[in-house]
Amino acid sequence: MAQPTTGLSEGRNLRSGSVPWREADWTLPPAGGLSRDAVDIAIIGTGIMGAILAERLSAGGRRVALLDRRPPGCGSTAASTAQLMWTMDVPMLTLAGHIGETEAARRWTRVLGAVRDLSERIEAMGLSALKQDCPTLYLTGGLLDDEALAAEAAMHRRHGLPSQWLDGNQVRERFGIAPRAAILSDGGFTVDPVRLCHALIELAVSRGAALAWPVNVIGLHPDGDRVHIEMEGGDSLHAGEVILATGYERPSLFLPSAFSLLTSFAMATPPGMAPLWKGNAMIWEASDPYLYLRTDESGRIIAGGEDIEEADADTRDALISQKAGVIAAKLETLLGAPVTIDRQWAATFGASPDGLPAIGATSLMPHVWLAAGYGGNGIAFASLAAQMLERELAGEADPDRDAFDPYRFDSNAGQRAADR
% of the chain at pLDDT higher than 70 = 96
pLDDT of residue 4: 41
Cβ neighbours, 10 Å, residue 418: 8
For the stretch 49-64, pLDDT in tens is 999 999 999 998 999 9
Helix/strand/coil for 228: strand
Q: Which of 34, 53, 35 is nearest to 43 (CA)?
A: 53
**What is the arithmetic mean of pLDDT over 92-118?**
97
Distance of CA 2 to the CA centre of its chain: 21
Q: What is the pLDDT of residues 67-78, one digit of tens each?
A: 999 999 888 888
pLDDT digits (tens, 9 = 90+) for 351-388: 999 999 999 999 999 999 999 999 878 899 999 999 99
Looking at residue 50, its pLDDT comes to 97
Where, residue-wise, is CATH 3.30.9.10 in the chain? Answer: 136-186+260-351
Per-residue pLDDT reduced to its tens digit, 384-401? 999 999 999 999 999 999
Residue 380 in contact with residue 111, Cβ under 8 Å? yes
CA atoms within a 13 Å half-sphere pointing along the CA-CB vector of 346: 25
Per-residue DSSP letters for 158-227? HTT-SEEEE-HHHHHHHH-SS---EEEE-S-EEE-HHHHHHHHHHHHHHTT-EEE-S--EEEEEEETTEE
The whole-number pLDDT of residue 62 equals 94
Average pLDDT in the chain: 91
Fold of 28-80+193-258+355-419: FAD/NAD(P)-binding domain (3.50.50)
Q: What is the pTM of this model?
A: 0.93
Tell me how crowded residue 386 is: count the other CB atoms within 10 A of its CB: 26
Domain with CATH 3.50.50.60 in the chain: 28-80+193-258+355-419
HSE of 53, CA atoms in CB hemisphere, 13 A = 37
Look at domain 136-186+260-351 and name its CATH class.
Answer: alpha beta
